[in-house]
Amino acid sequence: MPSNSHRIVIVGGGAGGMELATHLGKKLGKRGKAQITLVDAVLTHVWKPLLHEVAAGSMDSEANEVNFRAHAHNHHYQFQLGRLSGLDRSARKIVLAPILDEKGLEVVPQRSLDYDTLVLSVGSTTNDFGTKGAMEHCEFLDSLDQARRFHRHLLNLFLRKNYMARDLADSKLRIAIVGAGATGVELAAELRLVSRELPQYGLNEIKAGDVELTIVEAADRILPALPERISRAAHRELEQLGIRIMTGDPVGEITSTELHLKNGVQLQADVCVWAAGIKAPEFLTRLDDLETNRLNQLVVHQDLRTTRDKDIFAFGDCAACPQPNSDKPVPPRAQAANQQAKTLAKTLANRLDGRESVNFVYKDHGSLISLSHYTAVGSLMGNLTNGSLKVEGRLARLFYISLYRMHQVALHGLIGTAFIWFSDTLSRKLHPRLKLH
């Protein structure tokens, strides 16, 4: 790689960041036109919309992880392990925090990384809205580590209840999920699957009816960001699965054993999962005076360029991107990040050739909600039909699965994804449906 080649640094290896690095690596890195570097705080990538399946145990994350180093080697970009801790815009440098081992000993010291173009795609974190007790007593699903920790906690809860069932007058396991967006709804369905299938693997003292699942939503319906027809269909399916739904009831406080709703209702819970609302990471508000909004998102122009620096771009959940003829920014959805990655790849290639950047226009392809292996509901072609083309059942489930396959195609190509699909099919035949450890 020529020493004077253009240096593009991408911070954040989520769905959008990794797709962008892959595309630029093949288009620019392979030809020596630019040096592409992807920075992330962990070593592997897992598609974030699947974290609820990791948490429930219905997906083995190790079989679906992509190693950043290996992928970078195969797709003509570089990978740097590190967490962004500072930015010097005048010197065009980012600072990466020291890397520590499990004992807190320094493995790699603090270091800096030069850039000509910087792209921030650090995603989002859960917004607890300052709810008392939420941070102390709730499980969160922002990262793979959190999803795995919840899974271990869940297995221990089932194990404890199973071996104490004969001695307890009340052997019920109560799980509460705060937030009825896509994550909360999909997690509830996956947990119902777990409650019905774990007895097949020896935990037969607890029946599916002994696991009480409750979704608490402050809005007047579940999936409030989606068309009402989709909300009603999902509500009906969840109730048929025996999941209790409480809408219009904001949570005021959470303790180790209860949820206190603002209307005075107290709800018992052995475990509480917070899945209500998102915001961008707080450190973005301290990045050398880049403009942010009240959700910590970086404010960007329609071409995804930050408002205060022409050499810094941001996209995905961490960016507030305006749209023509709308007073709302691009919604924080996986399909938006995917579309932005493609647009930004064109813009960055144009920059090297001295051409104009490309404005991003969001196209709503619809919304799909998976209710585990039971069914799926959603709408297609949102831009064209305004969410009126509703799909349910196996067809919707097929479309939902195809979203992940499309992400894999972006990372591995058609042939690579075909091999992955074949391997997944064999794995399902050889391994239990649930991850039991």
Tens of each residue's pLDDT in the chain, 437 residues: 555 789 999 999 999 999 999 999 999 999 999 999 999 999 999 999 999 999 999 888 888 899 999 999 999 999 999 999 999 999 999 999 999 988 989 999 999 999 999 999 999 999 999 999 999 999 999 999 999 999 999 999 988 888 877 666 667 899 999 999 999 999 999 999 999 888 888 887 777 788 999 999 999 999 998 888 889 999 999 999 999 999 998 999 999 999 999 999 999 999 999 999 999 999 999 999 999 999 999 999 999 999 999 999 999 999 999 999 888 899 998 899 999 999 999 999 999 999 999 999 999 888 888 888 888 888 775 544 454 556 766 777 788 888 899 999 999 999 999 999 998 888 878 888 788 88
Residues carrying CATH 3.50.50.60, the chain: 6-124+280-352
Question: Are the C-beta atoms of 256 and 137 separated by less than 8 Å?
Answer: yes
Question: Are the C-beta atoms of 291 and 328 separated by less than 8 Å?
Answer: no
Model pTM? 0.93
- Residue 247 CB burial class (10 angstroms; 0-12, 13-18, ≥19): middle
- The length of the chain is 437
The pLDDT assigned to 384 comes to: 40
What is the distance between the alpha carbons of residues 113 and 133, in angstroms, rounded to a whole number?
Answer: 38
CATH class belonging to 6-124+280-352: alpha beta
Q: What six digits make up the tokens of 167?
A: 């001695």
47 CB-near residues (< 8 Å, 6+ apart): 15, 64, 334, 404, 407
**C-alpha triplet 305, 307, 310: angle, nearest 5°:** 50
Measured between alpha carbons, how far apart are the two ends of the chain, in Å? 44
Sequence-distant contacts of 89-96: CB under 8 A, at least 24 apart: 89/288, 89/289, 89/290, 89/309, 89/311, 89/312, 92/116, 92/118, 92/311, 94/9, 94/11, 94/39, 94/118, 96/39
The pLDDT assigned to 395 comes to: 73
387 CB-near residues (< 8 Å, 6+ apart): 226, 227, 229, 230, 366, 367, 379
SS3 217: strand
Give the domain 134-278+368-430 fold: FAD/NAD(P)-binding domain (3.50.50)
The pLDDT assigned to 400 comes to: 82
The pLDDT assigned to 105 comes to: 93
Q: For residues 41-75, b (16+ Cβ closer than 10 Å) or e, as one string?
A: beebbbbbbbbbbbbbbbbebeebebebeebbeeb
**C-alpha triplet 222, 298, 29: angle, nearest 5°:** 105
What is the distance between the alpha carbons of residues 85 and 82, in angstroms, rounded to a whole number?
Answer: 9
The pLDDT assigned to 56 comes to: 93
What is the distance between the alpha carbons of residues 246 and 309, in angstroms, rounded to a whole number?
Answer: 45
Q: For residues 393-411, b (16+ Cβ closer than 10 Å) or e, as one string?
A: eeebbebbeebbeebbbbb
Torsion sign, CA atoms 305, 308, 310, 313: negative
Sheet containing 375-380, strands listed edge to edge, beginning at the edge strand earlier in sequence: 366-371, 375-380, 390-392
What is the distance between the alpha carbons of residues 98 and 110, in angstroms, rounded to a whole number?
Answer: 4
What is the distance between the alpha carbons of residues 379 and 367, in angstroms, rounded to a whole number?
Answer: 5
The pLDDT assigned to 167 comes to: 65
The pLDDT assigned to 387 comes to: 47
Residues carrying CATH 3.50.50.100, the chain: 134-278+368-430
What is the distance between the alpha carbons of residues 270 and 257, in angstroms, rounded to a whole number?
Answer: 6
| Chain Cα centroid distance, residue 41 | 15
Backbone angles phi, psi at 285, to 5 degrees: -75, -10
